[in-house]
Structure 1
Amino acid sequence: MIWRRITRLILLVILAGSLAGTSLTAARIASDPLIAPFVEASKDQITATTERMLTTAATPETLSAHIANRLAESPRNWLALDALVDLAYERNIAIPSALNAAVQTAREDDHSYYATLTSCAACAYDPAQCSLSEVMICQAPIVLTPIGDIAGITRAGVAYASGAEVDQIDLALSVVGLGATAAILASGGTSGVVKAGASLAKLARKMGRLSPRLVEMAVDAARTGVNWASLPAVRSIDDLTAAIRTESFLPLTNTLTDLSRLNTATDATTALHLLPMVDDAADARRLAIAAEALGPKLVGRAEVLGKARLFRATLRFSETAWALGAGLVSLMISTATLISSMIQHTLLKRLRRSLKQKAPPKPRASGGDI
């Protein structure tokens, strides 16, 4: 009896300690934003994690399906196609002969002199018709310079003054690009870094490669950060400074800063290809981290793993998360053990009571005859 009480007391002490430790760790996470349950994984950890993921994701059937889907696009994305073929060779996966022949035929068709000439002309007229390789030749010379930003702001001012519809996305990206050039919107990075990110986003917008959330961010920046009455009069950097509220552009500016980091880790064509994965600054940062770890192998892995799994590979549990997890496990074990002990004690008491009630009465001792 005494030992049972001692055991329950010990379990209560363990339970109280687990509860206190778990609560303390959770309170630290809630009160200090710098203490996060997840932290950035190292380059070696990202590489190892993606390799483990590929063992189940990069099957012959999956790779063949991805290659066939990319092959059916128009214009074809040869950056993605080549990355998928390279991934198959890297993992010693044989591509079906018919599919391999179709890839070679398409390559010859798309890279012939006549095809290159006609497709570049179409790209110069309509950026939506550009392939990733063509856009850097046919569109970049204008978009990557302040000339494109000035033109974008001027177009918006003229449209507003005439009552026409304003392209708020182009306006927001032009404001960030020109503002970065003038060093008035360089939060989170140098002016050159922000300008590069804005230019990359403008190219992606022309090709329809901006994610819906990034488009929404640009529209929100233009809607809340532009003094529309002053916009038609913008003729200089000083005019631009007076016509915008810089704080409204900071979320967009920070996202574009990490886009430039992605561009630096890879190249402009790869960054354009991966831009649909970016919804905000956190996505841009994780994609840049993956690019710095995986290098040229990033595209193939992104094609097969997708955004969710690729981004998950860039994170690992922090020491705080392990402490919280250990506390929760200890708390659950202690609680379960204590409840089990209480149930066992209650059942034993009921069993003893039942046995006492069913036991026959003891016979009385009878005296001798008198």
Structure 2
Amino acid sequence: MLRGLARLILTLVLALSLAGTTLTAIRIAADPLLAPYVEASKDQIRAASDRMLAQSDTPAILQARVEERLAETPRNWLAIDALTGLAIERAIDLPPALLEQIRIKREDDHNYYTQAMACAACAYDPATCSLPQVLICQAPVALTPIGDIAGVTRAGVAYASGGEVDQIDLALSVVGLGATAAVLASGGTSYMVKAGASLAKLARRMGRLSPRLVEMALDAARTGIRWADLPGIRSVDDLNRAVHAEAFVPLTNTLTDLSRLTEVTGATTALHLLPLVDDAADARRLARSAEALGPKLVGRAEVLGKARLFRATLRLSETAWALGAGIVGILVSAATLLASMLQHALLRRLRRFTNPSARA
């Protein structure tokens, strides 16, 4: 009698756990706001990134990353300084030979003659620019409408003459000119869209755009421009008529969030971090990381990498905890019910073996 009652209770618990878990899963599927992960607070982001650093082989990674950065041309002193700053923060002693190498190469890169020659090369070829140089030597054109107008004009001339059109530059130029800005901005302003597009154009010339962001720009150009109208563009109104606004929405959203990242970190740091940005969500996560970590962001990004850095910006939601608790409840109830049934079956077998009359 008692065993039967216990099995009935366990069955009810199992049914209730299954029903609760099913309802939670249905709510998550039906309502995108009930995501299993939600944004972490600034304190949670800082704590999570510190835990990740403590759990990784930070000294070895730091040394390797510094050596890699020193071997680059041009050298990325923003990243090198962030890595050495992280070493000081974590009380990690870098090898004396490595510190001496940093000192020598810093002197080599920052003397007047080297700086002048590097800026001249940067003005001619953005791919040779260091991060601080590109803002001085390329920004006067890239950050104004002149560069966007030139980009659209070059594309029109190339298309009319049967030449190759730089579709990435064209897409970024279209967004930068603010074509149909009221439709494309999606929550941002035309200034933010322009700032994000200008930064992306600089990053593209330096080879710092992620493959997914490049593909996003190509998709916008392929599907969002009436190519036959391109050679006849003489004004912004002409450009608006030659553009399918909806095709540019994903790119514009990403560039708007990229502009928000720039506001938090500054243009130089944003340029450095741009290879981590595949879409608008990545740009938002980086901006949140920057708000939480401040100048420590670059060093942590260098050591932790994109996946772990972004994982620090998220935490499990209450809905996810409820779903997890429901799954645990199902497993515990099912295991207990199965154990009870097995125990009952074994006892019956034992009684049959020990009781000759029962076997008969």
Query: In the TM superposition, what is the alpha-carbon distance from 1:64 to its structure 2 partner?
Result: 1.1
If the length of structure 1 is used for normalisation, what is the TM-score? 0.95
Query: In the TM superposition, what is the alpha-carbon distance from 1:296 to its structure 2 partner?
Result: 0.7
Query: In the TM superposition, what is the alpha-carbon distance from 1:346 to its structure 2 partner?
Result: 1.5
| 1:153 pairs with 2:152 | yes
Aligned to 2:312: 313
Aligned to 1:289: 288
Q: Residue 290 of structure 1 contacts residue 298 of structure 1 at CA under 8 Å; is this kept in 2? A: yes
Aligned to 1:100: 99
Q: Residue 37 of structure 1 contacts residue 317 of structure 1 at CA under 8 Å; is this kept in 2? A: yes
Is the partner of 1:179 in helix, strand or coil?
coil
| 1:110 pairs with 2:109 | yes
Aligned to 1:339: 338
Deviations 1:172-208 (A, max 9, x none): 1001110269655322311111111111100000000
Q: Residue 180 of structure 1 contacts residue 194 of structure 1 at CA under 8 Å; is this kept in 2? A: no
Q: Residue 184 of structure 2 contacts residue 246 of structure 2 at CA under 8 Å; is this kept in 1? A: no
Q: Measure the CA separation in 1 of the matches of 2:320 and 2:12.
A: 23
Q: Which blocks of at least 5 consecutive residues in structure 2 are unaligned? A: none
Q: Measure the CA separation in 1 of the matches of 2:105 and 2:227.
A: 49
Query: In the TM superposition, what is the alpha-carbon distance from 1:289 to its structure 2 partner?
Result: 0.8
Superposition map of 1:36-55 within 5 A? 36-55=35-54
**Given residue 213 of structure 1, which amino acid in structure 2 is its aligned partner?**
R
Q: How many residues matched?
A: 360
Q: Residue 172 of structure 1 contacts residue 219 of structure 1 at CA under 8 Å; is this kept in 2? A: yes
**Given residue 218 of structure 1, which amino acid in structure 2 is its aligned partner?**
A
Aligned to 1:367: none
Deviations 1:126-160 (A, max 9, x none): 11000111100011110111111111011111111
Deviations 1:42-70 (A, max 9, x none): 11110111111111336322211111111
For the structure 1 residues 360 and 265, does the alpha-carbon distance in structure 2 shift closer, same or farther, using more than 3 Å as the test?
closer
**Given residue 224 of structure 1, which amino acid in structure 2 is its aligned partner?**
T
Aligned to 1:4: 3
Aligned to 2:165: 166
If the length of structure 2 is used for normalisation, what is the TM-score? 0.97
Query: In the TM superposition, what is the alpha-carbon distance from 1:95 to its structure 2 partner?
Result: 1.3
**Given residue 167 of structure 1, which amino acid in structure 2 is its aligned partner?**
D
Q: Residue 122 of structure 2 contacts residue 134 of structure 2 at CA under 8 Å; is this kept in 1? A: yes
Q: Residue 180 of structure 1 contacts residue 192 of structure 1 at CA under 8 Å; is this kept in 2? A: no
Aligned to 1:225: 224
Is the partner of 1:35 in helix, strand or coil?
coil
Q: Measure the CA separation in 1 of the matches of 2:55 and 2:9.
A: 46
Deviations 1:310-358 (A, max 9, x none): 0000001111111111111111101111111111111222222233359
For the structure 1 residues 167 and 360, does the alpha-carbon distance in structure 2 shift closer, same or farther, using more than 3 Å as the test?
closer
**Given residue 47 of structure 2, which amino acid in structure 1 is its aligned partner?**
A
**Given residue 37 of structure 1, which amino acid in structure 2 is its aligned partner?**
P
Q: Which blocks of at least 5 consecutive residues in structure 1 are unaligned? A: 362-370
Q: Measure the CA separation in 2 of the matches of 1:181 and 1:276.
A: 28
Is the partner of 2:228 in helix, strand or coil?
coil
Superposition map of 1:158-307 within 5 A? 158-179=157-178, 183=182, 185-307=184-306
For the structure 1 residues 359 and 237, does the alpha-carbon distance in structure 2 shift closer, same or farther, using more than 3 Å as the test?
closer
**Given residue 214 of structure 2, which amino acid in structure 1 is its aligned partner?**
V
Q: Residue 130 of structure 1 contacts residue 207 of structure 1 at CA under 8 Å; is this kept in 2? A: yes
Is the partner of 2:178 in helix, strand or coil?
helix
Q: Measure the CA separation in 1 of the matches of 2:86 and 2:341.
A: 58
Deviations 1:83-137 (A, max 9, x none): 0011111111111110000000000000000100111111111110001111000
Higher Cα Rg: structure 1 or 2? Answer: 1
Q: Measure the CA separation in 1 of the matches of 2:180 and 2:293.
A: 31
